Amino acid sequence: MSKQRFAFVGTGSRAISFLEPLVTTYRGSSELVGICDLSPARLAYYNGLLAGDLGYHAVPAYGADRFDAMLRETRPDTVFVCSKDSTHHDYIVRSLQAGCDVITEKPLTIDAAKCRAILDAQRATGRRIRVAFNYRWAPFRTKVRELLQAGTIGRVHSVNLEYLLDTNHGADYFRRWHSSAAESGTLLVHKSTHHFDLVNWWLDAIPEQVFAYGDLVFYGRKNAEARGDGHLTRYPRYTGEPAAKNDPFRLDLDESEIFRRLYRAAEADSGYVRDQNVFRDGIDIPDQMSVNVRYRTGPLLTYSLVCYSPREGMRVSLNGDRGRIEYHEFIGTHMNRGVRPRDFKLDDKPGAEAEGERIVVYPHFQPSRVVAVPPAQGAHGGADDILARHFFSTDAPADPWNRTAGHEQGAASILIGIAAVESIRRNQPVNIADLVPLRPDAVHLSQLT
């Protein structure tokens, strides 16, 4: 049987999570045929890893301006899009038009026009797009879906989801391209796409209308100065900066071999500075957000995201007409450092200790019960391993929970964030159908691809 041929675009920190299983565990069924990135230094880093520690071989490497040549010359079946969010649509559309299928990292894209371009290209070519929503695949989040699908609390009418990003992982978004709305769509798209997808999928529901507030209250120069932290604003970046020695937000790229080679050595060829001061001018995304969503079938979602919390995790409550589920996960903090999946470990930060995850069912008029949850293991609560098997093996088990998300489900998630950004701008509720008309006749998420 011939192997599935994969090409990757975007060889930053995230790519290793999928490249490694592809060329090691799944090399019998899948093959890496090419890699593409803006930065020759990052391409060289990955080819060094492939030919060295990963025991594979170097593959043809292409600069961003030679992406089409990569598709022509290496003939991938599937392109794995792992580049900066604002570039996803371009690579997805060009891959589809070249006759390839696509797996894309979340978010599908960052604004409504780019989303429409992807949906149009998919319709015109009929090729397949999958979105790597790893949140769905973590066993404890799948468990919530299993309980709801079994009718444990009847029909769900409302959900509260509070997500906390901490001053380790959360702050890291403010050092990089994520802090520019033009590049990430804001964290309401880049990050919340995970959370919105989770609720869409848990409820099997399609979002209809969104109202939101969002402000920058912690990061950025003005906020630091206003609370007396002006001394943390005095350098544009952290690496090599003696004055930043005791700065708790400091990230020194020279302290990690991976960061040095992946980012520091690539500054000259890409202009990407990975360790900018989180208290600088020019950050144009909010760091605290509050969103209300109404679904086509009636349920309401009340969502909040705070990016400057001392601890990281999520609290969710789901109210049904037969009871309530309370769910939380505080599984520690982790900042992506581009390490190989087997080297994944939680960061040791005071106050961010892992507490684990817990699901409690409160049926109406009956005692509550704690639901046994498989402990989280490995990167992203164990989700990445399961997802890699799904993408790269030929014997992935059947999935009774419909965890695979196509382009329409990917769109249903980002469109909440895109509508929220628009709502903040207009100070008005926004109808998702006015941004992108997602199959007007569909009632449930599972009716979308």
> Where does this chain bind ligand NAD (CB under 6 A)?
9-14, 37-39, 42, 64, 82-85, 87, 105-106, 132, 134, 190, 270, 336, 380
Q: How far is the CB of 379 from ligand NAD (least distance, A)?
A: 8
Q: How far is the CB of 24 from ligand NAD (least distance, A)?
A: 19
The letter for the amino acid at 195 is: H
d(Cα 155, Cα 151) in Å, to the nearest integer?
7
The tokens describing 181, both together, are 């709305």
Is the Cβ of residue 132 or residue 331 nearer to ligand NAD in the bound state? 132
Element containing residue 328 per DSSP (H, E): strand 323-330
Q: How far is the CB of 333 from ligand NAD (least distance, A)?
A: 14
Longest dimension (CA), the chain: 65
Q: How far is the CB of 105 from ligand NAD (least distance, A)?
A: 4
Q: How far is the CB of 361 from ligand NAD (least distance, A)?
A: 28
Q: Produce one character per residue of 406-428: b if its CB has 16 or more CB atoms within 10 Å, e if not.
A: ebbbbbbbbbbbbbbbbbbeeee
d(Cα 37, Cα 33) in Å, to the nearest integer?
14
Q: How far is the CB of 84 from ligand NAD (least distance, A)?
A: 4
The letter for the amino acid at 31 is: E
The tokens describing 128, both together, are 């397949």
Is the Cβ of residue 19 or residue 224 nearer to ligand NAD in the bound state? 19
352-358 long-range contacts (CB < 8 A, ≥24 apart) are: 352/166, 352/168, 352/310, 352/311, 352/312, 354/330, 355/313, 355/330, 355/331, 356/329, 356/330, 356/331, 357/140, 357/327, 357/328, 357/329, 357/330, 357/331, 357/381, 358/327, 358/328, 358/329
**Which residues, 6+ apart, have CB-to-CB distance to 27 below 8 Å?**
56
Q: How far is CA 145 from CA 141, 157, 201, 301, in A?
A: 7, 15, 8, 16
Q: How far is the CB of 17 from ligand NAD (least distance, A)?
A: 7
Q: How far is CA 386 from CA 122, 240, 380, in A?
A: 26, 39, 11
What 3-state class would DSSP assign to 181?
helix
The residue whose two tokens read 């005095």 is 234
Q: How far is the CB of 135 from ligand NAD (least distance, A)?
A: 8
Q: How far is the CB of 173 from ligand NAD (least distance, A)?
A: 10
Is the Cβ of residue 19 or residue 156 nearer to ligand NAD in the bound state? 19
